[in-house]
Amino acid sequence: MTSKPKAPALHPDTVALLEAARAANAPPYEAMIVEQARETSGEFTAVGAFPALDVASVEDRTIGEGASAFTARLYRPLHSAEAAAPAILYIHGGGWVVGSLDSHDSICRRLCDALHWPIVAIDYRLAPEHRFPAAVDDTFAAIRWLHAEAAALGIDPARIAVVGDSAGGNLAAVAAIAAREGMVPPVAFQGLVYPVTDLGGESEGYARVVEGMPVTGPTMRWFRDLYLGSPEDGQDWRASPLRAASLADLPPALVVTMEHDPLCEEGRAYARGLIDAGGEVTELHFSNHMHGLISMGALIRDAEALLQSLITALRCRLAAVPAP
């Protein structure tokens, strides 16, 4: 008789965090109204974030006009030896509903400090006030803006990477496909940290991770229903990059997944789809962690391992692109 495989153990830091959340009787996102979820998420990320590092400057810019305008935050490094440096477009997570420039500020600062490249983070419009495809449109607008302003910003347009976690990973993957299709200028690398890749269905993780974690299957259904205008939107590759007609001819990718995450299976399926289509892919899987690790640098030690892996992948991949 075959025994059922044991569930991988959680890292002790994660266990301690979950125990503290249970002791505080913290409600899940899906039990909150949107305003409460945003406030709670902001408070949690402020506590869990990496210590903020100094950079040369931080400047907010406006992209677009009128009702579709949004803010981009430009981080410049203290030391840069390149007149036209690589750059990263960082797209924050939060289920398209929560998250902000501030929630991922410490991550962008650490990327800027380690790589000595400009980082541009975007405050794309959130759901449910702005449903799909508003966040996609803002991501596309940000890539066009980066290319148009590359000379003024000291950026090499041939070495722009798109990076995001969770919903941001979804938007980064979508941007890479859009670049292949000629809908936006090219991107050189995609860093996808526990990305959402399929809103048109539910992978095994939705039924496997149902309680005890900050993000569960019910949590993802809550985010999905607030983001999409209709179930049919989930069939659109701009919401579900795993459903794109082809995953061929896309930029090199780092795909990070977490075992204790309802998005684990679809993230790994996306990595496999890229590989099967002939893509250059590095997969990184954490068997002992949950969704949200990159935002927990002050609480979970392995967040540093994740961030350093992302930094190394960016440095190696973009170094392979000839400088101007």
DSSP-assigned states of every residue in 132-153: TTHHHHHHHHHHHHHHHTHHHH
Catalytic-labelled residue, pool 105, 138, 291, 295: 291
Mind listing the pLDDT tens digit for each residue in 271-284?
999 999 999 999 99
79 flagged as catalytic: no
Catalytic-labelled residue, pool 166, 203, 240, 295: 166
54 flagged as catalytic: no
Mind listing the pLDDT tens digit for each residue in 56-106?
999 999 999 999 999 999 999 998 767 899 999 999 999 999 999 999 999
Structural domain contains residue 8: no
Query: Which residues have a Cβ under 8 Å from the Cβ of 222 and sit 6 or more positions away?
Result: 29, 30, 95
Structural domain contains residue 14: no
Q: How confident is the model at residue 292 (pLDDT cuts 50, 70, 90)?
A: very high
Structural domain contains residue 262: yes
Supply the pTM of this predicted model. Answer: 0.96
Q: Which domain holds residue 185?
A: 22-319
Mind listing the pLDDT tens digit for each residue in 198-208?
999 999 999 99
- Domain tally, the chain: 1
Q: What is the CATH number of the domain that holds 103?
A: 3.40.50.1820
Q: For the range 299-306, what are the long-range contacts, defined as Cβ-Cβ under 8 Å and sequence gap of 24 or more?
A: 299/13, 299/17, 299/47, 299/48, 300/11, 300/13, 300/14, 300/17, 300/48, 301/11, 301/13, 302/11, 302/13, 303/50, 304/50, 306/193, 306/256
Structural domain contains residue 280: yes
Structural domain contains residue 78: yes
Catalytic-labelled residue, pool 260, 261, 289, 295: 261
Coil, strand or helix at 37:
helix
Structural domain contains residue 5: no
* C-alpha radius of gyration, the chain, whole number: 19
Structural domain contains residue 7: no
102 flagged as catalytic: no
Structural domain contains residue 10: no
The terminus-to-terminus CA distance of the chain in angstroms comes to: 62
